[in-house]
């Protein structure tokens, strides 16, 4: 493992680190710059007293960091971004005991390197959260000021709602998991300045909420577990959560895309089971529709359209299914005969219909392409590219919001009147997003799921409680 470290050291520049830091290849598309994003962390001791402050200013795809902390022993102190946004006691994996600030978890590791290293290491080879040490003077005051591309406030390496931790001892920049830097002496949650959100918290340890839909007449938000199929109903006003239908009901092991139709029925995309379930507002399953038997189905999302049909995407099989008013499902469009080319990974995913009943808009996650499909002629047109890791879609007039899971942002796209082309106008990281998967409109606000499915795929425990987050339109 350390051999890789030597390899990068031999090449050794921060610029290389920046180039490799994202790990996923293509750079994230950035919206036009406005006021830079800023965040603050009040640094507390284990008794809860604030004994320092850290400030963060977004600079390009990196961040400028300034830290001042007092009451520390003179000398060098290891300093890192830790995974979770909480400064509570918990198990420290370096010692496997409950320690102050153990709730912050291990080091932030967006490159999944599983390796502790120094502040110059590319994220593929070392934790993204491995920051320069804090130098503490004879007066017990430590100061640090640096700019890094290993982490950022927004994008795939985003640290909003994670923690900055200062340790008792120097960091050797190599020993796993934390460079022998000892006890956690200061901790602060990195909170975005001047931005409000509201969280809806879920009760289950395996909830991994993927889909969300809103029944405006009843004031109820629905969300479902991608891992076990449990569906929750959330009172959007109070946040009270109840189980709407147990996972495993009628064999449903997963709930992905969700939509509420004009009759208040809840439609559920069943993922790898290849099913579409329709539930009454009372939580009774009306029907489970099977897609044609074939290897590797992945029914991901669906949308009712003005023509009375419901259209369904499959991320593995190049076909759009259609459900008619009598709840019969058929293959509607063979995508292999269109410009939409299926490849490895998640293909067609989020889908919405335009209110005029003319078009479907569908997101191809693995290519970042947004497609328009004519409901009358079935003609397919590429609307735009660059929406990497685009997942769920929400259409609000001519504005399309796109949840971009691994990129940890919600993007705002301005569409032309005929949805023939679109332009990325803003990217919103909120106060930190963990794999934002889908969106719903609630009153004048947006609600996004934070699915954390990247963690499930990597075998890393999720941050609990799981949450949906409500925020104003942007």
For Cu ion, the binding residues in 137-166 under the rule CB under 5 A are 165
Residue 459 CB, nearest distance to Cu ion (Å)? 21
Interface map 190-229 toward Cu ion (x if CB under 5 A): ----------------------------------------
Output 178 or 258, the one with its CB closest to Cu ion.
Answer: 178
Output 179 or 304, the one with its CB closest to Cu ion.
Answer: 179
List 44, 77, 80, 169, residue binding Cu ion (CB under 5 A): 80
Site size toward Cu ion (CB under 5 A) is 3
Query: Alpha-carbon distance 428 to 197, whole Å?
Result: 12
List 28, 178, 333, 340, residue binding Cu ion (CB under 5 A): 178
CA distances from 351 to 28, 211, 263, 348 (A): 22, 12, 20, 8
- What would the DSSP string read from start to end of 57-85? EEETTEEEEEEEE-S--SEEE-EEEESSS
Piece of the chain touching Cu ion by CB under 5 A; list 25-33, 75-83, 310-318, 419-427: 75-83
Q: Which of 326, 415, 331 is nearest to 370 (CA)?
A: 415
Piece of the chain touching Cu ion by CB under 5 A; list 73-81, 336-344, 426-434, 451-459: 73-81
> Phi-psi bin for 146: left (phi > 0), alpha (psi -120 to 50), beta?
beta
Piece of the chain touching Cu ion by CB under 5 A; list 37-45, 145-153, 175-183, 459-467: 175-183
Residue 117 CB, nearest distance to Cu ion (Å)? 12
187 interacts with Cu ion by CB under 5 A: no
Q: Look-up: residue for tokens 């912050």? A: 104
Output 175 or 336, the one with its CB closest to Cu ion.
Answer: 175
SS (H, E, C) 356-425: CCCEEEEEECCCCEEEEEECCCCCEEEEECCCCCEEEEEEECCEEEEEECCCCEEEEEEECCCCCCEEEE
Q: Which of 158, 100, 103, 101 is nearest to 129 (CA)?
A: 158
Q: Look-up: residue for tokens 């496997």? A: 96
Interface map 409-448 toward Cu ion (x if CB under 5 A): ----------------------------------------
The separation between the first and the last C-alpha atoms of the chain, rounded to the nearest angstrom, is 43
Residue 106 CB, nearest distance to Cu ion (Å)? 8
Q: Which spans of this chain sit near Cu ion (rule: CB under 5 A)?
A: 80, 165, 178
């Amino acid at each position: 493992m350390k051999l890789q470290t030597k390899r990068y050291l031999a090449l050794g520049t921060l610029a290389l680190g920046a180039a490799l830091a994202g790990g996923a290849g293509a750079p994230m598309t950035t919206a036009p710059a406005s006021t830079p994003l800023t965040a603050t962390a009040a640094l507390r001791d284990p008794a809860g007293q604030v004994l320092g402050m850290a400030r963060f200013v977004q600079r390009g795809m990196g961040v400028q960091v300034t830290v001042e902390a007092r009451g520390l022993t003179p000398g060098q102190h290891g300093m890192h971004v830790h995974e979770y946004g909480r400064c509570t006691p918990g198990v420290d994996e370096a010692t496997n005991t409950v320690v102050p600030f153990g709730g912050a978890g291990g080091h932030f590791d967006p490159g999944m390197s599983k390796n502790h290293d120094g502040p110059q290491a590319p994220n593929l080879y070392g934790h993204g959260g491995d920051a320069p040490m804090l130098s503490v003077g004879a007066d017990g005051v430590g100061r640090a000021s640096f700019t890094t591309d290993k982490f950022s406030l927004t994008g795939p390496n985003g640290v909003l709602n994670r923690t900055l931790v200062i340790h008792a001892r120097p960091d050797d920049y190599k020993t796993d998991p934390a460079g022998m830097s000892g006890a956690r002496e200061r901790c602060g949650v990195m909170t975005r300045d001047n931005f409000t959100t509201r969280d809806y918290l879920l009760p289950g340890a395996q909830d991994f909420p993927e889909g969300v839909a809103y029944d405006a007449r009843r004031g109820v938000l629905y969300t479902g577990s991608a891992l076990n199929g449990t569906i929750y109903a959330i009172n959007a006003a109070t946040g009270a959560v109840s189980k709407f239908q147990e996972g495993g009901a009628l064999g449903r092991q997963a709930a992905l895309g969700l939509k509420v139709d004009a009759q208040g029925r809840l439609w559920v995309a069943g993922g790898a089971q290849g099913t579409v379930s329709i539930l009454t507002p009372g939580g009774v399953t009306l029907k489970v529709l099977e897609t044609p038997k074939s290897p590797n189905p992945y029914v991901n999302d669906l949308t009712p359209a003005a023509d009375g049909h419901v259209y369904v995407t499959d991320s593995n099989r190049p076909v759009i299914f259609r459900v008619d008013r009598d709840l019969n499902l058929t293959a509607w469009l063979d995508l292999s005969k269109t410009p939409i080319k299926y490849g490895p990974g998640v293909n067609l995913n989020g889908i919405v219909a335009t209110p005029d009943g003319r078009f479907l808009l569908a997101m191809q996650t693995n290519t970042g392409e947004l497609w328009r499909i004519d409901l009358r002629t079935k003609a397919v047109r590429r609307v735009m590219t660059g929406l990497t890791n685009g997942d769920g879609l929400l259409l609000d007039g001519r504005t399309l919001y796109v949840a971009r899971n691994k990129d940890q942002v919600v993007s705002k796209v301005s569409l032309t009147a005929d949805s023939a082309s679109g332009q990325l106008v803003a990217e919103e990281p909120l106060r930190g997003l963990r794999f934002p998967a889908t969106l719903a409109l609630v009153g004048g606000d947006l609600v996004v799921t934070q699915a954390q499915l990247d963690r499930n795929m990597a075998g890393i425990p999720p941050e609990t409680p799981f949450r949906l987050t409500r925020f104003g339109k942007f």
